[in-house]
Amino acid sequence: MKAWDRGLSLRFMGFYDCSADLNGLGMPAARSKADVEKKYPLGKVVPVRVLYVSLTAAGKVIIVSRMPHVLAFKPRPALTGYELPAAAHLASDKAHSDISAAANEKGKIDKMWPIPYGTVLDDCIVLSVVGTIGLALQVPATKAVTAFAKVAQLAEEDEPAPKLNKYSGPFHVGTRHRARVVGYDAIDAVVRVSLRPSMVNEKFLTIDDVYPGAAVNGTIKVFRENGVEITISSTLHGFIHKQHLADVALKHPELQFKAGKQIACRVLKVLHEQRSILLTTRKSLVQSKLPIVTGYTEAEGAVPGAITQAVVDRVVDNGAIVNFYQGAHGLVVGGSKRLEPGKSIKCRILTCDSERRRIRVTDNVDEGVSLDELLAKLAPAKPTEFSTDISQVAPGQIVSGAVVRIRSESAMLTLDG
């Protein structure tokens, strides 16, 4: 057994030489050969598991690991394998609720939440410089999670790779940096991160970062007959249906939507299962400052009295169906304007029924008219009550009334009095 700055050399069966790097030893933060020698002194016998073997004429290479889960030959659960209470706060709000529910139900947390892909980690501390390969960093708020950034992930693609030195330079031991999770090494149990500013500051890295109504600046990728494909970021793309290219029909949309052009969009719908993002470039929606409606509850913007923007889907007998965001739709009642399919209109929400998934709106957006007045005006008239006492009239009596129905051989009247 012999220690090195970047790992350990071992021999098994008295003949085969093998090696384990710092990650394989579970010591990614080791700063020197002395740290390795302290834990693995010369002559110490340790169990290892062979990961890689290459027996060629040029020489044999055998890579081994000392990681507990590798020795047990069991996969680590979840994305990162760090099911630790100290790392739970790095997860999403859903993770917090799930963890709390598990703790309350069973009295203990038996399945912790991993660090999700795309999580931005503030204030990561450089623990060690691994030669010219990269950096080992400590994740904030927990000493149990170690991250690793390759040297290529320390600068932008068009910039030269920085020279690493543990004592000086922008990445010396002890410096603090913002990083973003971009992967996980299940064998070495190390979170892979990037320190590139463009990656760390990317607003939309995963589809979970995109939400209905979000303003997006995209680049046209290709124009198609049914719409336009948009590049949102280096990892995400979206699609604009031809009906949402503009507020009016375009005769030659291919001239306006050319590949490489930068355009402002707004997210219409996010389909997580299909990993699809639908966008719009209608100016009435992109430039609108009105509240966004994404569902049928007040938390989703469906607040009675609120004025919002919608697009007419179709005209029906009792009004018109309008579309909001994320597939929500409503019924326009008492329309005062001519509503045409495809037209973008301002409307005021009258009532919301989250259980039945229904929204009633009106195109009367006059702020001088209260919601109660609109509801009273649109309320159905109460049926007139008629007397059924025929003793009040006699044959031959002269009466007055109003015709309410005419048939081929008779007429129906309502009598006055």
Map residue 375 onto helix, strand or coil: helix
The pLDDT score that the predictor gives to residue 101 is: 42
pLDDT confidence bin for 316, thresholds 50/70/90: confident
Cα 76 to its chain centre, rounded Å, is 25
pLDDT at 113 over 80: no
Task: Judge whether 309 and 290 are in contact, CB under 8 Å.
Answer: yes
pLDDT at 402 over 80: yes
Better pLDDT: 107 or 301: 301
Per DSSP, 77 falls in state P
**348-401 pLDDT tens trace:** 999 999 999 999 999 888 888 888 888 887 776 566 666 777 777 888 888 888
Q: What is the amino acid identity at position 162?
A: P
Task: Judge whether 91 and 113 are in contact, CB under 8 Å.
Answer: yes
**251-310 pLDDT tens trace:** 999 999 999 999 999 999 999 889 899 999 999 999 999 999 999 999 999 999 999 999
The pLDDT score that the predictor gives to residue 114 is: 53
**56-106 pLDDT tens trace:** 767 789 999 998 888 888 766 443 434 444 344 444 444 334 433 433 343
Burial class (CB in 10 A: 0-12, 13-18, 19+), 239: middle
**169-220 pLDDT tens trace:** 999 999 999 999 888 887 887 888 999 999 999 999 889 889 999 999 999 9
CA atoms of 311 and 341, how far apart (whole Å): 8
pTM score > 0.85 for this model? no
Nearest to 187 by CA among 73, 18, 88, 83: 73
Burial class (CB in 10 A: 0-12, 13-18, 19+), 184: buried
Least-confidence region, from 140-149, 294-303, 335-344: 140-149
Task: Judge whether 362 and 347 are in contact, CB under 8 Å.
Answer: yes
The pLDDT score that the predictor gives to residue 239 is: 97
Per DSSP, 234 falls in state S
CA atoms of 51 and 28, how far apart (whole Å): 18
pLDDT confidence bin for 112, thresholds 50/70/90: very low
Percent pLDDT > 90 in the chain is 43
Q: What are the helix (H) ranges across 135-270?
A: 197-200, 253-256
Q: Token pair for residue 126? A: 């450089």
